Amino acid sequence: MLTKRQAKTFFIGGTVLFAAIFLGLTIDTLSNGLPRNTHPEKMDDQVKLGRYLWDKNNCMGCHTIMGEGAYYAPELTRVYSRKGPAYIRTVLTAPEGWQPRGRNMVKYDFTDEEVEALIAFFKWMDEAYLNGFPPKPWLQPSE
Question: Domain with 56 in it: what CATH number?
Answer: 1.10.760.10
Q: Are residues 23 and 55 in the same domain?
A: no
Residue 142 within a domain = no
User: How many structural domains comprise the chain?
Assistant: 2
Asked whether the beta carbons of 121 and 50 are under 8 A apart, the reply is yes
Same domain for 49 and 114, yes or no, is yes
Res. 143: pLDDT tops 90:
no
Say if CB 105 and CB 99 are below 8 A apart: yes
Q: Are residues 25 and 84 in the same domain?
A: no
Task: Give the domain range for residue 11.
Answer: 1-38
**Does residue 50 sit in the same domain as residue 12?**
no
| pLDDT at 38 (0 to 100) | 67
- The verdict on 53 and 108 lying in the same domain is yes
Q: Are residues 24 and 67 in the same domain?
A: no
Q: How far apart are CA 9 and CA 87, in angstroms?
A: 60
Same domain, 65 and 19: no
Identify whether 138 is part of a domain.
no
In this predicted model, what pLDDT tens digit does every residue of 50-66 receive, in sequence order? 999 999 999 999 999 98
Q: What band does 85 get if pLDDT is binned at 50, 70 and 90? A: very high
Rounded Cα distance between 62 and 37, Å, is: 26
97: left (phi over 0), alpha (psi -120 to 50) or beta: left
Banded model confidence at residue 11, pLDDT cuts 50, 70, 90:
very high
17-21, 75-79, 120-124, 137-141: range with lowest mean pLDDT: 137-141
Q: Cβ distance 125 to 118 under 8 Å?
A: no
pTM of the model: 0.70
| Residue 115 sits in the same domain as residue 62 | yes
Mean of pLDDT over the chain: 86
pLDDT at 33: 59
